[in-house]
Amino acid sequence: MRFKYSITLSSFRNIGEPLEKILETLGHQGYDAVEMFGEPYKLDLKRLNEIFHSFNIPVCGITGMWGSVSEEGWKRRLLSLNTNIVAYSVEYVKSCIKMCHLLGGYEINLCLFADDKFVEFDRNHGVVPEDQKERIMQKTAIPTLSKLSKFAKDYGIQLLLEPLNRYSTPFCTTATEAVSIANQLNQDNFGVLLDTFHMNIEEDSIEHAIMKSRGLLRHMHFADNNRKMPGYAHINFREVVKGLKKVDYNQYISFEPNLTDEGYAVATKKGLEFIRSM
Ligand code: LER
Ligand code: MN
Report pLDDT digits (tens) over 226-244.
999 999 999 999 999 999 9
Which residues make Cβ contacts (< 8 Å) with residue 151, sequence separation at least 6? 94, 97
The alpha carbon of 257 and the centre of ligand 2 are apart by a number of angstroms equal to: 9
Give the mean pLDDT of 104-131: 90
Q: Inter-axis angle of helices 45-54 and 19-29, to 10 degrees? A: 30
Question: Could you tell me the pLDDT band of residue 189, with boundaries at 50, 70 and 90?
Answer: very high
Question: Could you tell me the pLDDT band of residue 219, with boundaries at 50, 70 and 90?
Answer: very high
Task: Reply yes or no on whether the pLDDT at 254 is more than 90.
Answer: yes
Task: Reply yes or no on whether the pLDDT at 48 is more than 90.
Answer: yes
* Positive/negative CA dihedral, 235, 228, 270, 272: positive
Question: Could you tell me the pLDDT band of residue 221, with boundaries at 50, 70 and 90?
Answer: very high
Would you say 62 and 90 are in contact if contact means Cβ atoms under 8 Å apart? no
Give the mean pLDDT of 135-149: 93
Task: Reply yes or no on whether the pLDDT at 114 is more than 70.
Answer: yes
> Pick from 258, 171, 187, 243: which is nearest to 213 by CA?
243
pTM: 0.97
How far apart (Å, rounded) are the C-alpha atoms in residues 9 and 265? 13
CB of 228 shorter than 6 A to ligand 1: no
pLDDT of residue 121: 82
Task: Reply yes or no on whether the pLDDT at 70 is more than 80.
Answer: no
Side-chain-side CA neighbours of 121 within 13 Å: the count stands at: 19
Task: Reply yes or no on whether the pLDDT at 18 is more than 80.
Answer: yes
Residues, beta carbon < 5 Å, ion ligand 2:
195, 221, 256
Would you say 121 and 128 are in contact if contact means Cβ atoms under 8 Å apart? yes
Question: Could you tell me the pLDDT band of residue 119, with boundaries at 50, 70 and 90?
Answer: confident
Please state the length of the chain: 278
Task: Reply yes or no on whether the pLDDT at 1 is more than 70.
Answer: no
Per-residue burial over 245-268, b = 16 or more CB atoms within 10 Å of its CB, e = otherwise:
eebebebbbbbbbebeeeebbebb
Give the mean pLDDT of 35-48: 95
pLDDT of residue 193: 98
Which CA distances in Å does 148 have to 42, 54, 86, 113? 22, 32, 12, 16
Please state, rounded to an integer, the average pLDDT across all residues of the chain: 95
Question: Could you tell me the pLDDT band of residue 170, with boundaries at 50, 70 and 90?
Answer: very high
Give the number of the atom of ligand 1 that is nearest the alpha carbon of residue 221: 2
Task: Reply yes or no on whether the pLDDT at 69 is more than 70.
Answer: no
Give the number of the atom of ligand 1 that is nearest the alpha carbon of residue 113: 7
Give the number of the atom of ligand 1 that is nearest the alpha carbon of residue 8: 2
Task: Reply yes or no on whether the pLDDT at 74 is more than 90.
Answer: no
Give the mean pLDDT of 44-52: 95
Determine the CATH number of domain 4-276.
3.20.20.150
Sort residue 162 into left (φ over 0), alpha (ψ -120 to 50) or beta.
beta
Best mutation site among 167, 221, 227 for ligand 1 pocket (most ligand atoms within 8 Å of CB): 221
